[in-house]
Structure 1
Amino acid sequence: MITILIAGAGASGMCAAITAARQGAHVILLEKNDIAGKKISMTGNGRCNITNEAMSASCYNLSAQGKMEGWLQRFGVAKTLEFMKSLGVVTQSEEGYIYPISGQAVTVQNAMIDEVVRLGVEYITGQQLKKITPVDDGGFEVKTTGGLYKADKVIIATGGLSGPKSTMSTGDSYYIAKSLGMNVTKTYPALVSLLSDDKDLPSKYGVRMMAGIRIKEIEDLYEYGEVQITSKGISGIPVLQLSGRVAQYMADNKGTVTAFLDFFPTYSDDDFTNMKKDIIEVSRGKTYIQVLDGISNHLIGLMILSRLGIKEDTVIDANSIDDLERVIDNYRNVRINIVATSDYASSQVTKGGVDLNDLTDDLESVHTPGVYVVGELADVDGRCGGYNLQWAFTSGYIAGMAAAGR
């Protein structure tokens, strides 16, 4: 019987363990935390966004898209739902976002752990991977903080750098991958907030508004959705979606970028012009802030007026129309200076990792056959909305099957 050692019992590691054990392999699953699947329990705000019906290769980083299409054909959304069903997890779609019907991420976490135990996987917690050494007569010697293990195949599923305090994902295996001949691309925190040094951003609890956000320094980088603006910067799903590329651009260019917010992104130019005309017609005799409160959030209005040097209690008259029009135009071009992103402790995923050119289509190391790399450790990162968990399941399944010889 083939022995497969899997280091890391997150979503990808447990999926690999379950898949390989179902094929009859003897599986040893090691986890340095006291329990498997800690990151699963925190995904989707504690609800676990398992996958997304709007799944495609284009939802992943550019360097992964070429291979991702083939990988998703082998194990995509439909097979993920079948896998959940095999674990006894009932799912439901909420506008294309797939969650366990229980509404609790722990449902998925516990179901995977239960299946690992049911299949007789040798499940060991409290041990950290330290070294993988190929043995002359075949197989590998695996050193951990708890001892030495022998295995025919090894799957590394130890994650990236995201969430070091909560999940103990500290990027330990980047060094191990390098020692086995694999190249590791530069890493960055992704799915994070963008931080600003602007002193006039809304204070207190901040502001949530629908907006389009564009980073003009990076070609075609645009997102739309609910943006949260606070005194520290901007966040929200659209910000998370573009944060990885922003982090990479800022690190590579050692500079800042500017976020341009449009609070009327669904308006055509004609629609916006007509809206301005309607507002201006009823504006005389009102103060600027009274007019602006009718079209947007109060705090955003105060910020725009301050930036233009206009007092909020100034009364609008016939001579103020051009200024009022200029004020309203600013709602389509609010600039926020971005000086940094949140760090790995706040990030949901790591951008970068083991170079996919050093992995086969089965996620096996080209340089050290018999060693597989899955999940966040590989240079794959997806959009917010179930895409990174889908990659965890996809990569775990593919490696688990290949390592088991299927």
Structure 2
Amino acid sequence: MRLFGFFGGFFCGAAVSTGSCVTALKLYQLETGQEQKGTSEKVPEVREDIGRFGFPVTGAEVRHYANHTLSYDQSKRTPRWVAEHLTNHKLQGNTERKHCRFRPDPAIPACFSATNGDYFRSGWSRGHMAPAGDNKQSERFMADTFLLSNIVPQNYENNAGFWNRLEMYCRDLTKRFQDVWVVSGPLVLPQEVDGKRKVSYQVIGNDGVAVPTHLFKVILVQNNNVSDKAEQSQSPPLALGAFIIPNQPISFERSLTDFQVSLLELEKAAGLTFYPRLPKTSDPASETAGGNSKTRTEQEIKSNNKEVNLNTEQSAADSIPTEFGPPTDLCKVDGCKLMGYKEFTLYLTGRKVGSARSIEKLEKFMSELKDQGIQPDDYLTNLYQQKKEELANKEPPKGKTGV
């Protein structure tokens, strides 16, 4: 053995290339039976030792509910993302939210869950990611949206105003597209302070529920009934829009396109890959939003598809036909126009009138509308008359009291 070691060293020193030296050493190892086993053979044993008592669990697995799906962020006590599939048929129904109550999600461990007490007097509203308005088809659908796993701390005006109008726009899309997929969630984005970019966010309540600086919404629409190629070129069957909305009051002067971003920009900010089964595409909003025009490579798509297939159950909604081609910019196809001030005010007044419990309240709502200089339309006028008659029949005659 020593003699071979001497000649091996001599050979290496005299060899013209390092390749010859390696070959000689390999021969030596084979002769002596000292060739090392591949590290791959030890990997399973190493993994078993490291994970003998298990690995940390994030709780971010995909969770399915009656009509929405989400991934939960245990550290922030809010959802990471919430996904929905909307159709005109699914939006039908008359279930009312007044029968629902916000409550902790029993599927979330109590130590990682928000409570109603966290929001009490916090200055923030309980903002739905899957809206109650998308779930009027059944009481169970709507009740699930009031679980706090679907809720984030949201600015009151934003929740009732711009974000509400955006949710209404998503529902309105079902009148023009057969299928609408929506993913919504909170973001905590860095802001520049003293020339430095920093991530800072408020937490509320004893459980430290994280208040997002922004909210996001990704909308994908599809038309299955477009079969003629000429018609397809005019009305693309797949369109997508990505938006990042500040968690603060937003005036009616701002349009939805002001907050449109490229899909890649949102994915980088959220640390998520949206709609991973979409065909290879240049970013539909890159030109409109001034975003990065990088594309998803075939390798990225295959990798994402493999991950999704391993970790989730594939449904019909997941399998988007690739023959449709990549999605186009939703805002170019549909305009992304939200309801204006007058129309939105009439809508809100209609909701108030419909839920009024006394004639006094009813008249107050109509008076507030008049003070804003807005005349009621035919729908609101008829609703007001019907509600007034209904309340008049319920109220006891003057001078008499109920037993």
Tell me the TM-score normalised to structure 1 length.
0.23
- The higher radius of gyration belongs to 2
Tell me the TM-score normalised to structure 2 length.
0.23
The answer to which structure, 1 or 2, has the higher relative contact order (CA under 8 A, 6+ apart) is: 1
Q: Which has a greater percent of strand?
A: 1
